[in-house]
């Protein structure tokens, strides 16, 4: 009778040690995952991208030995060219619009309104898809962190 209690107690000790080891392994993996996610979220890009449309355009952006002064001049030239282009397009639109009848102008306004609404809806759909994709990625990461580190053996 005493021997049976000893054997049973010995089995429980082994089971508890194994559970503790599995628990420590899971806690360690969780800690590593939390640190990795925190570092990923706080990491900033090395060089911020220039804001707006004023950037160094191809093929000039591939030159490796541009000085800061050259880069600034290229950006200035590009910005000025974009402004001139915008003015030319507006002038073209105004001249063409002057040729149109009132009915055609109304139709054009309707076309532009529909186009703007479609663009807005498309942007909202893409934003929703990105959010859904990010939620799925976070869910998969969370599920991956919750999985046990080792599989329990069949013979206990």
Asked whether the beta carbons of 66 and 60 are under 8 A apart, the reply is yes
pLDDT at 153: 58
Question: Could you list the pLDDT tens digit for every one of the 156 residues in the chain?
Answer: 444 444 445 555 555 666 656 766 667 666 666 666 766 655 555 554 545 555 788 898 899 899 999 999 999 999 999 999 999 999 999 999 999 999 999 999 999 999 999 999 999 999 999 999 999 999 888 888 765 555 555 555
pLDDT at 36: 67
pLDDT at 39: 66
pLDDT at 1: 44
pLDDT at 141: 87
* Three-class DSSP labels, the chain: CHHHHHHHHHHHHHHHHHHHHHHHHHHHHHHHHHHHHHHHHHCCCCCCCCCCCCCCCCCHHHCCCCCHHHHHHHHHHHHHHHHHHHHHHHHHHHHHHHHCCHHHHHHHHHHHHHHHHHHHHHHHHHHHHHHHHHHHHHHHHHHHHHCCCCCCCCCC
**Domain boundaries defined on the chain:** 1-43
d(CA 67, CA 56): 12
pLDDT at 55: 75
């Amino acid at each position: 009778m005493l021997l049976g209690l000893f054997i049973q107690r010995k089995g429980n000790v082994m089971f508890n040690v194994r559970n503790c080891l599995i628990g420590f392994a899971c806690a360690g993996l969780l800690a590593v995952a939390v640190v990795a996610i925190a570092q990923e979220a706080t990491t900033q890009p090395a060089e911020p991208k220039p804001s707006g449309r004023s950037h160094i355009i191809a093929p000039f952006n591939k030159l490796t030995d541009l000085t800061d002064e050259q880069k600034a001049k290229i950006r200035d030239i590009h910005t000025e060219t974009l402004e001139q282009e915008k003015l030319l397009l507006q002038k073209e639109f105004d001249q063409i619009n002057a040729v149109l009848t009132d009915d055609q102008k109304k139709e054009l306004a309707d076309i532009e309104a529909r186009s703007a609404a479609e663009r807005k809806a498309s942007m909202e759909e893409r934003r929703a898809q990105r959010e859904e994709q990010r939620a799925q990625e976070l869910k998969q990461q969370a599920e991956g962190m919750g999985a046990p580190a080792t599989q329990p053996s069949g013979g206990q």
